[in-house]
Structure 1
Amino acid sequence: MPKLIQLTAPVLDLVYKVTAIPESGTEAIVNDFSSTPGGGINAMVAARSAGMDVALGGSLGSGPFADTIREMLAEHQIEHIGAAVAASDQGSCVVLLEPDGERTFVAYPGAEGHISPSDLTGLAVHGGDWVMLSGYTLYYPGAGPAVAEWIAQLPDDIHVLFDPSPLAAEIPAALLEAVVSRVDWISSNRAEAAVLVGDNDPVGMAGTMANGRKGAVLRQGADGALLAMDGRVEKIPPHPVHVVDSNGAGDCHIGSFIAEISRSGDAARAVRYANVAAALSTTRDGPATPPERGDVLALI
Structure 2
Amino acid sequence: MTGRLVHTGQVVLDLVLAVPALPPRGGDVLASSTNLLPGGGFNVMAAAARSGARVLYAGSHGTGGFGDLARTALAAEDVELAHEPTPGMDTGVVVVLVDAAGERTFATGTGAEGRLTSLDRVRPEKDDVVYVTGYSLLHEANRSALLAWLPRLPGSTVLFDPGPLVAEIDPGALRATLSTVDILSCNTREADVLGELPPVAVVRDGAKGCQVHEHGRTTDVPGFAVDAVDTNGAGDTHCGVLAAELLRGSTLLDAAVRANAAAALSVTRPGPATAPDRAPIDRLLTRDGP
Give the TM-score, by structure 1 length.
Answer: 0.89
Does residue 1:142 correspond to 2:141, yes or no? yes
Aligned counterpart, 1:266: 251
Give the partner amino acid of 1:130: V
Give the partner amino acid of 1:291: P
Q: In structure 2, do the counterparts of structure 1 residues 101 and 128 end up closer, same or farther at CA, with 3 Å as the change threshold? A: farther
- 1:77 Cα deviation from its structure 2 partner: 0.8
- Deviation per CA, 1:142-188: give whole Å up to 9, x if none: 21111122113323x20001111122111112211111111101111
Question: Does 29-38 or 225-234 show the bigger shift?
Answer: 29-38
How many corresponding residue pairs?
Answer: 284
- 1:96 Cα deviation from its structure 2 partner: 2.7
Verify the 8 A CA contact 1:12 1:36 in the aligned structure 2.
yes
Aligned counterpart, 1:299: 284
Find the aligned partners of 1:234 and 1:274 in 2 and give their Cα distance.
Answer: 15
Give the partner amino acid of 1:247: N
Does residue 1:216 correspond to 2:201, yes or no? yes
- 1:229 Cα deviation from its structure 2 partner: 0.7
- 1:233 Cα deviation from its structure 2 partner: 1.2
Q: In structure 2, do the counterparts of structure 1 residues 243 and 100 end up closer, same or farther at CA, with 3 Å as the change threshold? A: farther
Aligned counterpart, 2:42: 41
Give the partner amino acid of 2:104: R
Q: In structure 2, do the counterparts of structure 1 residues 3 and 57 end up closer, same or farther at CA, with 3 Å as the change threshold? A: same
Please tell me the root mean square deviation across aligned C-alpha atoms, in Å: 1.8
- 1:281 Cα deviation from its structure 2 partner: 1.2
Does residue 1:130 correspond to 2:118, yes or no? no
Find the aligned partners of 1:72 and 1:180 in 2 and give their Cα distance.
Answer: 31
Candidates 178, 198, 215, aligned match of 1:230 = 215
Deviation beyond 6 Å, 4+ runs, structure 1: none
Verify the 8 A CA contact 2:124 2:153 in the aligned structure 1.
no
Q: In structure 2, do the counterparts of structure 1 residues 33 and 73 end up closer, same or farther at CA, with 3 Å as the change threshold? A: same
- 1:67 Cα deviation from its structure 2 partner: 0.2
Candidates 151, 157, 160, aligned match of 1:159 = 157
Give the partner amino acid of 1:282: V
Q: In structure 2, do the counterparts of structure 1 residues 246 and 179 end up closer, same or farther at CA, with 3 Å as the change threshold? A: same
Find the aligned partners of 2:34 and 2:84 in 1 and give their Cα distance.
Answer: 31
- 1:99 Cα deviation from its structure 2 partner: 5.1
Find the aligned partners of 1:233 and 1:103 in 2 and give their Cα distance.
Answer: 33
Find the aligned partners of 2:24 and 2:187 in 1 and give their Cα distance.
Answer: 26
Verify the 8 A CA contact 1:101 1:244 in the aligned structure 2.
no
Long gaps (5+) in structure 1: 198-207
**Percent identity (aligned):** 40
Aligned counterpart, 1:242: 227
Verify the 8 A CA contact 2:44 2:237 in the aligned structure 1.
yes
Find the aligned partners of 1:27 and 1:270 in 2 and give their Cα distance.
Answer: 46
- Deviation per CA, 1:225-282: give whole Å up to 9, x if none: 1111131111111122222222221111100111012213211121111111112112
Find the aligned partners of 1:108 and 1:210 in 2 and give their Cα distance.
Answer: 32
Find the aligned partners of 1:220 and 1:114 in 2 and give their Cα distance.
Answer: 32
- 1:210 Cα deviation from its structure 2 partner: 3.2
Does residue 1:285 correspond to 2:283, yes or no? no
Q: In structure 2, do the counterparts of structure 1 residues 59 and 115 end up closer, same or farther at CA, with 3 Å as the change threshold? A: same
Q: In structure 2, do the counterparts of structure 1 residues 108 and 121 end up closer, same or farther at CA, with 3 Å as the change threshold? A: same
Q: In structure 2, do the counterparts of structure 1 residues 22 and 276 end up closer, same or farther at CA, with 3 Å as the change threshold? A: farther
Q: How does 1:70-109 map to 2 (within 5 A)?
A: 70-98=71-99, 101-109=102-110
Verify the 8 A CA contact 2:59 2:83 in the aligned structure 1.
yes
Q: In structure 2, do the counterparts of structure 1 residues 33 and 232 end up closer, same or farther at CA, with 3 Å as the change threshold? A: same
Question: Does 3-12 or 144-153 show the bigger shift?
Answer: 144-153
Aligned counterpart, 1:181: 179
- 1:23 Cα deviation from its structure 2 partner: 6.3
- 1:5 Cα deviation from its structure 2 partner: 0.6
Give the TM-score, by structure 2 length.
Answer: 0.91
Verify the 8 A CA contact 2:208 2:223 in the aligned structure 1.
yes
Verify the 8 A CA contact 1:210 1:229 in the aligned structure 2.
no
Aligned counterpart, 2:60: 59
Find the aligned partners of 1:252 and 1:47 in 2 and give their Cα distance.
Answer: 8
